[in-house]
Structure 1
Amino acid sequence: MTPRISDLQTRDFSQFAQYLNDHISDNGAEGQPLFQPIARVDCHFAGERAAGFRRALDVVPPTPGWRRAWVALTGKDRIVGHVDLRAHPAPYMAHRCLVGMGVHREWRRSGIGQRLLDVAIDWAKADHQMEWIDLQVIASNAVAIRLYERAGFTETGLIRDCFRVDGGQVDYLSMTLPVRRD
């Protein structure tokens, strides 16, 4: 069955938080690569981190602090992937947004990531203020980088040894996608 993509509704946020906690638990676990620059002990989605995400869903773009999210749902409304766009935190960047995403371990390499990314890109293209989508990705995450390149993102810079996570050095790659060229 092909999951359907839907806007994340605030009433479904507790289910989303459960999904994201499970998803983040894979970060660097048992031979899995890092996909977030977060130490294993901090791989949870709760507290102010979850509350801030939830609050941002109610902020209307282009108001600073906005966020939009979509989820991939199986037949029984089980979340198996997500993508979100959010405002840049820096002033004077309202024409750009940041993307974040993930896919449940059982659904990786199924095409859901591309479908989710396409929905977010289409939303940004429809927003007349939005001109760029930016992202940062762990430089060793080759699977994610290939997905972003297939979607048209290009590399804008690499910060070597950007993070020290669980005793290892982590490089961070920045990428961008123009969504409007007037």
Structure 2
Amino acid sequence: MSIKELNKEKLDDFFQYLKIHLSENGQKGITLFQPLSKHQSALSDEWKAKFEDGMNKKNEEIGWRKIWVAINEENKIVGHIDIRPQNQLNAEHRVLLGMGVDSSFRNLKIGQTLLEFIIDYCTNNSKISWIDLQVLTDNIPAIRLYKKMNFEQLSITKDMFRIDNISYDYTSMTLNVEN
């Protein structure tokens, strides 16, 4: 498996992967990994635009996003990780993390490998001091992985989402990557 920065040539493959990934949210015993109901778990044009617009911007520009994909031996995207800025004044030293792994390739340490990669990338970027993330509190496997990678739990927002008449809490975590 290799990790490569997403480029325009792979963008359609990425959107196909993301479409399948989102369609699995809360399905067939898979824990919700996005705060979306089953019928909302689709790749919208708005989401596509956020990814595409963000990756076309330089890191200093508002709305930038860097995306990397995990590619297996068959040249298939099996996971992704991305960072983007906190959209807060004077918070340029912090990034928000997003990631996912194809359900057929979970428990193969792909998520851990992606996190190791992004932590190394951020540690070696003098402009980034903190990696922040939010995760549904019920997503125990993800929280376990983040804790293993030394992310610190900051807070739990009770009843953050109500999806299909079920209340979900939201956990905020962070990792300091300053040298």
Percentage of matched positions with identical amino acids: 39
What is the match of residue 150 of structure 1?
Answer: 148
| 1:105 correspondence with 2:97 | no
Query: Quick one: which of 172, 175, 178 aligns to 1:177?
Result: 175
Structure-1 separation of matches of 2:123 and 2:140: 26
Give the residue type in structure 1 aligned to 2:136: I
Give the secondary-structure state (helix, strand or coil) at the position aligned to 1:30.
coil
Deviation at 1:58? 1.3
Structure-1 separation of matches of 2:27 and 2:97: 23
Paired residues of 1:161 and 1:171 also in contact (CA < 8 A): yes
Give the secondary-structure state (helix, strand or coil) at the position aligned to 1:93.
coil
Deviation at 1:46? 2.6
After TM superposition, the structure 1 = structure 2 runs for residues 52-131 of structure 1, keeping only pairs within 5 Å, are 52-131=50-129
Structure-2 separation of matches of 1:32 and 1:46: 21
Paired residues of 1:19 and 1:80 also in contact (CA < 8 A): yes
What is the match of residue 2 of structure 2?
Answer: 4
Give the secondary-structure state (helix, strand or coil) at the position aligned to 2:58.
coil
Structure-2 separation of matches of 1:33 and 1:157: 20
Deviation at 1:41? 1.0
Give the secondary-structure state (helix, strand or coil) at the position aligned to 1:118.
helix
What is the match of residue 165 of structure 2?
Answer: 167
Unpaired runs of 5+ in structure 1?
Answer: none
Instruction: Compute the TM-score of the two structures, normalised by the length of structure 2.
Output: 0.96
- Tell me the number of residue pairs that the alignment of Structure 1 and Structure 2 aligns: 179
Deviation at 1:166? 1.4
What is the match of residue 29 of structure 1?
Answer: 27
Unpaired runs of 5+ in structure 2?
Answer: none
Instruction: Compute the TM-score of the two structures, normalised by the length of structure 1.
Output: 0.95
Structure-2 separation of matches of 1:81 and 1:118: 14
Give the residue type in structure 1 aligned to 2:110: I
Give the residue type in structure 1 aligned to 2:92: A
